[in-house]
Structure 1
Amino acid sequence: MAHKKGQGSSRNGRDSHGQRRGVKRYAGQAVNAGSILVRQVGTRIHPGRNVGVGRDYTLYALCDGTVLYESSKGRIVARIEPAA
């Protein structure tokens, strides 16, 4: 057994916090304009009707309504069905 720690364990012991990405509002949920729907890297989920894109690819609601996620042509699209 070593009687000293060695180089490894004294230099390790760091980790960065998670960035809280993912879906924030699920299908069927009611949202207000400006609500964040998805935080993502790149367009894993694409914007549909009444959905805007931030410069970090965050999807957000452009109007009040209900969230819907649809799959078409091999891609997932988020859209907002406006409240009547």
Structure 2
Amino acid sequence: MAHKKGGGVAKNGRDSESKRLGVKVYSGQPVIPGNIIVRQRGTKFYPGKNVGMGRDYTLFALSAGTVVFTESKNRKIVHVMEVKEEKPKRTRAAKAKAE
């Protein structure tokens, strides 16, 4: 028989690394295609217009625009509203110069 107890093993001190989940781009902020908007486990947020969802439920922008969060029937939905680029109108002077 041993005269002393064997040294115990520490039962604490282990923890997993955080996964950095959550909203990455907030409402009103601009995005370009491919930008990650939300990292999540399961569908806390659902994809709306111009938003795609990855295999791990990550929501990302499909087109350039501004992020908008809405809620309907207890569902939070994320949209990307496209920004329409206006072309400058050609004046008579510009038309004459082009010819």
Short-chain TM bin: 0.7 to 0.9
Output the CA distance in 2 between the equivalents of 1:11 and 1:42: 31
Using the TM superposition, give the Cα deviation of residue 11 of structure 1 relative to its aligned residue in structure 2, in angstroms: 3.0
Question: Which runs of structure 1 show a deviation greater than 6 angstroms over 4 or more consecutive aligned residues?
Answer: none
- Aligned: 1:75 with 2:69: no
Q: Give the number of aligned pairs.
A: 79
Provide structure 1 residue ranges, at least 5 long, that are not aligned to the other structure. Answer: none
- The residue correspondences of 1:28-67 to structure 2 (distance < 5 A) are 28-67=28-67
SS at match of 1:66: strand
Paired residue type of 2:43: T
Using the TM superposition, give the Cα deviation of residue 14 of structure 1 relative to its aligned residue in structure 2, in angstroms: 1.2
Larger radius of gyration: 2
SS at match of 1:11: coil
Paired residue type of 1:60: F
Paired residue type of 1:82: E
- Larger relative contact order, structure 1 or 2 (CA cutoff 8 Å, min sep 6): 1
- Aligned: 1:23 with 2:30: no
Using the TM superposition, give the Cα deviation of residue 68 of structure 1 relative to its aligned residue in structure 2, in angstroms: 0.2
Paired residue type of 1:80: V
Provide structure 2 residue ranges, at least 5 long, that are not aligned to the other structure. Answer: 85-99
TM-score computed with the length of structure 1 as normaliser: 0.88
Output the CA distance in 2 between the equivalents of 1:42 and 1:13: 28
TM-score computed with the length of structure 2 as normaliser: 0.75
Q: Percent of counterpart pairs with the same letter?
A: 52
Alignment-derived partner of residue 12 in structure 1: 12
